[in-house]
Amino acid sequence: MQINSVAQLDVAGGIATLTLDSPPVNALSAAVRDGLDQGFRAAIEDEAVQGIVLICAGRTFIAGADISEFDKAPTGAPLHDVLALIEGSPKPVVAAIHGTALGGGLETALVCDYRVATPSAKLGLPEVALGLLPGAGGTQRLPRVVGAEAALEMMAIGKPVRAKDALAMGLVDAITGEETLHADAVAFLKARLDTPRTRIRDRTDRIAGQDPALFHAFRAKHARAFKGFKAPENIIKAVEAAVTLPFDAGMKREAELFWELFRSRESAAQRYFFFAERQTAKVPDLAADLPEIPVRRVGVIGAGTMGGGIAMNFLNVGLPVTIVEQAQEALDRGVATIRRNYQVTVDKGRMTAEQLEQRMALLTPSLEFEALSAVDLVIEAVFEKLSLKQEIFARLDKVAKPDAILATNTSFLDVDAIAAATGRPESVVGMHFFSPANVMKLLEVVRGAETDPQVVAAAMAIGRRIGKVAVLSRVCDGFIANRMMAPRMAAAQALILEGPLPWEVDQVMLDYGFPMGPFAMLDLVGLDVIGWDAATSSSSSVVEILCEMGRWGQKKGGGYYDYDEKRRAAPSPIAEQVIRDFAAKTGVAQRQFSDAEIVARLLYPVVNEGAKILEEGVAIRASDVDVALVYGYGWPVFTGGPLFWADGVGLAKIADALEEMGHTPSPLLRALAEQGKPIHQYRSVAPVGRVVEVA
């Protein structure tokens, strides 16, 4: 019997099967909720039905709420009412889970009497990633099934559990066959038709006598990771309510804590970012029917830190990689580093020794450029010198096969100038990985003036294939992320002459939510590699003076900070004196700055640069800029990124402050401020034809 457009009810042998079929992930849309409501009512009222199986068609069980409905007027059956109906069923209910049961999907399964799952299934309550908590009883039911500690790990961290772990925890009652889920679920239920049932809401065995110290310990353990986020704390409070209050009172507390989060700026930022990340895959002017460029073998030029990290991305997904170096010693060192990185993963239990060897077997080291003649994609990852890269691409042009994609990993050089060294600029694209390349999620795909759309589409798809978030950029100095953050570094170096010391500036940035301050970052990278030239150095800046003193950063035991033998940082009296002396020499007045002033001095210019990037059409949309900064520089996601954050501060306030600082606000920034329009919704390129998502 067809219940509605997404739900079907079938009865056989006394068992009703309610099947949901709402691609792509059976999210809890209004139609799905209505299907559940009407389907369960029909099954309950049917006297021939003794038990009910809830199952989903397609690739997954209910994979969560339909968050596109979050900010819309509610329609359809309310989820809480639907779950109450299922939980109150006089007939036993089993949830048959495959794929993923996430968020509202797992909360739906938790109101069923039983849960069975395929071996490959995953279950979780990841609402924390949206700045929310599970708001349909998850915070109250999950602890009653798995205990408070395991529930906290699942909800406040947000990491799903595999079926076998869910079985061990008591979250599922049985593992089915991978291909026999429905039959096994029916058999499981038939064997329990006469078994007394206890609703999860009525269970106390896993939460009785819970030591309150657990919650204090959990907060302390994750204090650093939770800093700046409201959702983890509210989840902890909700679980505390689960173990101290009756169920109905706990549900009321859950609702209060949920709506507090839902109305918060932090959750709005995280929900915005959720959609922003998915928007990056949509490139407006790529034709829907572009032929795919198959990539089966990859070449990497340069076996240094960056080249090795890039190679690992492809080895991780089973793609053979040929890595080329000039000297045997450098090649051996690079291969050894790749193996060592994998060994660390093995030592942590995240990879087997067999998997390590399988990946290393895919790597072909070579000293011969001709070894790249058969690859489908070659990525150059050598020193940032234009003439060197042009020389390499001229050689590649002669060696690479005609349809190969030629990519440069340059972080700021002109991709068009590099492409001009070849006779096929249409095949050249920027693929800018961030260091460490095997860890950082951002990949900037840089579209040159002559890059073929097919090559752009391929580069974006390759990024997603290796687990990166690919953001498309046009050619400019520094592209999106590096260009955006350059003004922060310039502002920080100017600010320390006016009073605040490097560690004070860094602390303000840490308090804002960055993982590292600008001066700690400079010391980590090395002051000598950010543009210092010993041959021309003339004590014309604090950086030059520190470098002339041999204070190049961590590697030398001192830079802006002093470092002990374990590279632990401490404020440096030497650096402080250098700064004070240089400020006096150059006549810069000193004064006290509030934390808010430091934030404004460092971050308002970043917003201004973002507006310029949009004006110039370097980025497709403002949300791409936010994604690039979050994944490229650790901009705190609970702010949504610089442009979403700017709308919360107020564009007029930022534009006025920029003028007071001596900066010229971007015309776009000023125009949006005057029009009262948000910048985070701005699109710099009007779609041409159909918008295509690059899979």
Beta partners for 116? 96, 174
| Alpha-carbon distances, residue 352 vs 161, 356, 362, 364, 642 (angstroms) | 20, 6, 16, 21, 40
Distance CA 307, CA 379 (A): 8
Query: pLDDT for 152-198, tens place per residue?
Result: 999 999 999 999 999 999 999 999 999 999 999 999 999 999 999 99
Res. 67 pLDDT band, cuts 50 70 90: confident
Write down which residue in 586, 617, 632 finishes a domain. Answer: 586
Find the helix or strand (DSSP H, E) in which 307 lies. helix 305-315
First to last CA, the chain: 36
Res. 410 pLDDT band, cuts 50 70 90: very high
For this structure, is 127 an active site residue? yes
Mean pLDDT of the chain: 95
Q: Which of 45, 47, 87, 107 is catalytic?
A: 107
Query: pLDDT for 268-323, tens place per residue?
Result: 999 999 999 999 999 988 887 888 899 999 999 999 999 999 999 999 999 999 99
Look-up: residue for tokens 């240094």?
A: 304
The percentage of the chain sitting over the pLDDT mark of 90, rounded to a whole number, equals 92
Give the total number of structural domains in the chain.
3
Query: pLDDT for 14-24, tens place per residue?
Result: 999 999 999 99
Distance CA 25, CA 425 (A): 41
Is residue 223 located within the same domain as residue 371? no
Whichever domain contains 217, its CATH number is 3.90.226.10
Closest CA to 373 of 397, 394, 401, 392: 401
User: What local confidence, expressed as pLDDT, does residue 692 receive?
Assistant: 44
Distance CA 616, CA 444 (A): 17
Is residue 235 located within the same domain as residue 382? no
Please check the confidence at residue 695 and state whether its pLDDT lies above 80: no
Give pairs for 572-576: CB < 8 Å, separation 24+. 574/549, 575/502, 575/546, 575/551, 576/501
User: What local confidence, expressed as pLDDT, does residue 110 receive?
Assistant: 99
Res. 501 pLDDT band, cuts 50 70 90: very high
- Helix ranges restricted to H, 58-200: 79-87, 104-110, 138-146, 148-152, 163-169, 181-190
- Helix ranges restricted to H, 123-180: 138-146, 148-152, 163-169
Q: Is 62 part of a structural domain of the chain?
A: yes
Query: pLDDT for 309-362, tens place per residue?
Result: 999 999 999 999 999 999 999 999 999 999 999 999 999 999 999 999 999 999
Is residue 423 located within the same domain as residue 544? no
Closest CA to 74 of 29, 21, 32, 23: 29
Whichever domain contains 338, its CATH number is 3.40.50.720
Please check the confidence at residue 141 and state whether its pLDDT lies above 50: yes
Is residue 314 located within the same domain as residue 459? yes
Is residue 201 located within the same domain as residue 326? no
Is residue 571 located within the same domain as residue 441? no
Is residue 176 located within the same domain as residue 71? yes
User: What local confidence, expressed as pLDDT, does residue 60 receive?
Assistant: 98
Closest CA to 693 of 629, 642, 620: 620
Query: pLDDT for 652-670, tens place per residue?
Result: 999 999 999 999 999 999 9
Look-up: residue for tokens 């002396």?
A: 581
Write down which residue in 545, 569, 586 finishes a domain. Answer: 586
Closest CA to 140 of 241, 236, 214: 241
| Alpha-carbon distances, residue 655 vs 597, 669, 672 (angstroms) | 15, 7, 10
User: Would you say 340 and 436 are in contact if contact means Cβ atoms under 8 Å apart?
Assistant: no
User: What local confidence, expressed as pLDDT, does residue 243 receive?
Assistant: 96
Q: Is 179 part of a structural domain of the chain?
A: yes
Res. 690 pLDDT band, cuts 50 70 90: very low
pTM above 0.85, yes or no: yes
Is residue 66 located within the same domain as residue 166? yes
Q: Which of 127, 240, 277, 325 is catalytic?
A: 127
**Sign of the CA dihedral 48, 54, 59, 64?**
positive
Is residue 344 located within the same domain as residue 237? no
Is residue 195 located within the same domain as residue 338? no
Query: pLDDT for 626-638, tens place per residue?
Result: 999 999 999 999 9
Query: pLDDT for 442-458, tens place per residue?
Result: 999 999 999 999 999 99
Is residue 556 located within the same domain as residue 448? no
User: Would you say 269 and 246 are in contact if contact means Cβ atoms under 8 Å apart?
Assistant: no
Burial 649-671 (b: 16+ CB within 10 A, else e): bebeebbebbeeeebebbebbbe
Closest CA to 411 of 465, 480, 460: 480
Average pLDDT of the residues in 31-35: 97
Domain of residue 560, residue span: 527-586
Q: Is 597 part of a structural domain of the chain?
A: no
Query: pLDDT for 42-60, tens place per residue?
Result: 999 999 999 999 999 999 9
User: What local confidence, expressed as pLDDT, does residue 685 receive?
Assistant: 55
Instruction: Please provide the DSSP assignment of 424-481 as one string.
Output: -GGGEEEEEE-SSTTT--EEEEEE-TT--HHHHHHHHHHHHHTT-EEEEEES-TTTTH
Please check the confidence at residue 687 and state whether its pLDDT lies above 60: no
Res. 132 pLDDT band, cuts 50 70 90: very high
Average pLDDT of the residues in 237-266: 97
User: What local confidence, expressed as pLDDT, does residue 65 receive?
Assistant: 86
Write down which residue in 543, 565, 586 finishes a domain. Answer: 586
Please check the confidence at residue 694 and state whether its pLDDT lies above 70: no
For this structure, is 544 an active site residue? no
- Helices 231-244 and 247-262: angle between axes, nearest 10 degrees: 170
Q: Is 690 part of a structural domain of the chain?
A: no
User: What local confidence, expressed as pLDDT, does residue 368 receive?
Assistant: 96
Q: 100 phi and psi, to 5 degrees?
A: -130, 140
Is residue 254 located within the same domain as residue 398? no
